[in-house]
Each structure stands twice: as C-alpha cells, then as structure tokens.
Chains A and B, each alone.
Chain A
C-alpha cells in the first residue's frame, strides 16, 4: 500500500486574521483563521499550514493564541510558520497545540537552528520552508522576503543541507508560480524530491485540480499546498480528493 498523499490548505495570517479574504457564503467571519480551519477539517483536509506574516513584535503573541484556539477546534495536524527564530518560539506554538513549525529566513541566517529544533522536538516537528526562484542560468536560487532578496544559495543544495541538519519535511514554494494559478513548478519539485529523502510539499501555482495530480505524479511531491483555489470556493477539498483518487493517487477519503 502506498502512502496516502496529502492536501494541505494554507492560511496566511496577519495579527491573528486571515490576510486574503474568502468567499464562503456559510462562513460567518471570513477573517477568522480558526473558523476557516474547522471548515477545511470537515471537508477532509489532511493537515493545515498557518503562515504568520505579522510584522510587529507585539503581534507575535497572536500566533500562539491562534495555535491555542486552533487546537481547541481543529483535530488534524497543523503547522505554524513565520517568525519562528528560536527553540523558545517553537516551544510556545507547539505547547499551544501545533504539531510542527516551519522555519524559513531564521534557518538561512542561522542553519544550526534546525538541529536545535530537531534535538528538542524531533525532526518530525521541523519543516524547512524554502522560497525558490528560477535564475537566468536555469538553476533555482533561494530567496527571501517574497522573492525580493536573493540569498546566493542554491535551492536543491539548501534542501539537502537543511534536511541533513534536522528538518523532517520540506515546504517548497516556487516564487515564480506563487499566485499565478498556472500550476506548480514541477521541475523544481521533482529535483528537490529526488535530492532528499524527506516528504516534499509542493507550493505555489495551483489553479486547477489537474495541477494537484501533476505535482504528485510528475513533481513527485508527497503533498500539495493550496490557498486560493480553496479560499475562494472554486473547489472544495473533497472535490480535489475525488479528482486525485480518480487518477489513481491514494488519498484519505
């Protein structure tokens, strides 16, 4: 029996509120991440990712509160990313009920953080989030701040290094595809999946259900991250699962 492939809705959160609105008619408060998360759990989402983009330091407590409220109402694994810079930061959200933390820029600045987190919580709790963008020479670079700052690192090399340091999963976002709805960057996804031996979550570009099956079949991803195709009610998680199952991909139904 093959592993069940996962569908993971992603919510961008600022000061405790969902950044992009949603148009679910049966949701009372489209800005409440917990209400949206409950909806995705009921629809059959396998996991959830919350990416905190709160800029202010004072706003940081809101993400712990979010983890706390999510754990009271949502009974699938969830990951908190954004602003996790230390074991203490991770302890706060994991203690509140989150299952994993995703780290991005903090691990680029101080790669040892991955080992510290794995040591304390186990590598199954540590997700390395990588924002990659194709360069003119055809390789993929690692970028920061939404693709504006190039780090000089190669995405595939960084994926290998990060997993050897302690990351147990890779959340791989194509900055070229993010927000485009034209499909995942399959070449990048496949290259990272083949170069590492941990699960790869494909992210950035989903616009059609066929994109999800492509990411699994051609991109060799273990999971697909989706935002807008679910948030705006274009498709439900259930429809996505049905589509994947019809194409012979093992999913939880």
Chain B
C-alpha cells in the first residue's frame, strides 16, 4: 500500500457524492464512486456517504448487497467512514419513518435531534467537543466548528463515542469502533478542518 490509497465512495443512488470525491482528491487520496463488488473489494478504505431517508437508503444498500460488502470489508480490517446519513446507517436501527434496521457495525439507535423545540433540520456550523483521543481527529482543535445538515442523531455507547456537539442539547456527532467511524457533520463542506479529518482517514487507510 502506498501513500495514496484508493478510497471507494459507496454509491447507492442517494445524495450528491461529487463533493466528497473532490475533497478526498484534495487531500491526496484516489477516490472513486462505485457500487461494483470488485472495486469495493480492492479498495484501501470505504466511504459510506448519504443524504435522505434512512429506510430508503437501507433498502437500496441491501438491493446492491453493499451491506454484505461492508461487513466483509470490516472483517478484513479495511477502514470505513460514514458521513451524515452514512454515520446513522452504521448503527443498529432508526426510528425514522416508522423505523428500520441498520448495518449494526456501531452500537446504538438513531433518534430525532433533541433540539428542545428548536427548528429541525439542524443546519450550520457547530463546535465539536472531542470526548476521547482518536486518530481520525488528529490535529483538530477542541471546539472545532464543523458543518451540519441533519434531522436525526445517533446514540452510541460511551466507549464508541468520540465527539459531541450541541443544538438545543448535546448530541453525539462522531463515533468509532475498531476501524469503523462515522461523522454526523459534512467534512467535505467544513473547510480546512473537514479536509484535515479526511486526510487523517486517508492516512489511516495508507
């Protein structure tokens, strides 16, 4: 493996993947958007992006058998990064739109943003508090502002919780276990701090 790993951005037909691809290229990764099994099996790291509704996304993921490919990758110790809905899909289940099962690669459920009467979706820059050191967040400052657009949040176990932010009340926004991570914010839209996080992920995959 060289210093320029191949990162597969999993395509299940939901959301704009172009910004993620360009941000990964910017930090020196070779990124490609794919749902092809051979390409995914050959990748040094997987990105699970996504915008939209959880149940529909899981339906598409199962149709394309991306759930199996993700599990196989995790068994081979290939790093995985979920972004926004991608983070939520890594968890056990959601309450969104009547509920659905997730991938179960991280532990916990997905619930509505505990906004305390504030407007949902939560949109904008929010300061992130790091709950423990993690290679994914190397070089990021305490309280680093990152860019969010979401209506739901994950509720990880304490040992899988990496970062939190606040909107109405505090919520989990970075979770990780082994080489599986997820971030609720959009690193590809979070300027230099977001690029730093993606560069950290790229280095984890190198």
What residues of chain A have their CB less than 8 Å away from a CB belonging to chain B? 1, 3-4, 6, 41-42, 44, 46, 68, 71-73, 75-77, 94-97, 99, 122, 124, 168, 197-199, 252
Interface residue from B22, B123, B145, B188 paired with A124 (Cβ < 8 Å): B123
Interface residue from A44, A75, A124 paired with B189 (Cβ < 8 Å): A75
Please name the residue on chain B nearest to A98 by beta carbon.
Answer: B16
Task: Tell me the bound Cα distance from A94 to B19 in angstroms.
Answer: 10
Which residues of chain B are within 8 angstroms of A197 by Cβ–Cβ distance? 119
Quote the shortest CB–CB distance from A37 to chain B (angstroms).
12
Given A41-B191, A75-B188, A252-B145: A6 in contact with B18 (beta carbons within 8 A): no
B127 touches A75 (CB 8 A): no
Which residues of chain B are within 8 angstroms of A252 by Cβ–Cβ distance? 125, 145
Task: Tell me the bound Cα distance from A197 to B118 in angstroms.
Answer: 10
> In this complex, which of A68, A75, A96, A97 has the most chain B Cβ atoms within 10 angstroms of its Cβ?
A75
**B194 CB–A CB distance under 8 Å:** yes
Quote the shortest CB–CB distance from A117 to chain B (angstroms).
15
Interface residue from B18, B147, B188 paired with A96 (Cβ < 8 Å): B18
Interface residue from B22, B119, B145 paired with A72 (Cβ < 8 Å): B22
Task: Name 27 A/B residue pairs within 8 A (Cβ), A-sorted.
Answer: A1-B126, A3-B167, A4-B125, A44-B191, A71-B18, A71-B22, A73-B22, A75-B188, A75-B189, A75-B192, A75-B194, A76-B189, A76-B190, A76-B191, A77-B147, A77-B189, A94-B16, A95-B18, A97-B19, A97-B22, A99-B189, A122-B51, A122-B121, A124-B149, A197-B119, A198-B119, A199-B124
> In this complex, which of B25, B51, B189 has the most chain A Cβ atoms within 10 angstroms of its Cβ?
B189
The SS class assigned to the B binding surface is: mixed
Quote the shortest CB–CB distance from A107 to chain B (angstroms).
20
B147 touches A76 (CB 8 A): yes
Which residues of chain A are within 8 angstroms of B125 by Cβ–Cβ distance? 4, 6, 46, 252
Task: Tell me the bound Cα distance from A124 to B189 in angstroms.
Answer: 15
Please name the residue on chain A nearest to B189 by beta carbon.
Answer: A77
16 further A-B contacts with Cβ under 8 Å, apart from A3-B126, A6-B124, A41-B191, are: A3-B167, A4-B127, A46-B125, A68-B18, A71-B19, A75-B23, A77-B147, A77-B189, A94-B16, A95-B16, A96-B18, A97-B16, A97-B18, A97-B19, A252-B125, A252-B145
Quote the shortest CB–CB distance from B126 to chain A (angstroms).
7
Task: Tell me the bound Cα distance from A6 to B16 in angstroms.
Answer: 24
Task: Tell me the bound Cα distance from A76 to B126 in angstroms.
Answer: 14
Task: Tell me the bound Cα distance from A124 to B121 in angstroms.
Answer: 7
Task: Tell me the bound Cα distance from A6 to B123 in angstroms.
Answer: 12
**B69 CB–A CB distance under 8 Å:** no
B10-41 interface bits toward A, Cβ cutoff 8 Å, 1 = contact, 0 = none? 00000010110011011000000000000000
B119 touches A75 (CB 8 A): no
**B166 CB–A CB distance under 8 Å:** yes
**B64 CB–A CB distance under 8 Å:** no
Task: Tell me the bound Cα distance from A197 to B194 in angstroms.
Answer: 29
Task: Tell me the bound Cα distance from A71 to B191 in angstroms.
Answer: 12
B22 touches A1 (CB 8 A): no
A75 touches B18 (CB 8 A): no
Task: Tell me the bound Cα distance from A252 to B180 in angstroms.
Answer: 29
Which residues of chain B are within 8 angstroms of A75 by Cβ–Cβ distance? 19, 23, 26, 188-192, 194-195
Quote the shortest CB–CB distance from A163 to chain B (angstroms).
11
> In this complex, which of A42, A72, A77, A122 has the most chain B Cβ atoms within 10 angstroms of its Cβ?
A77
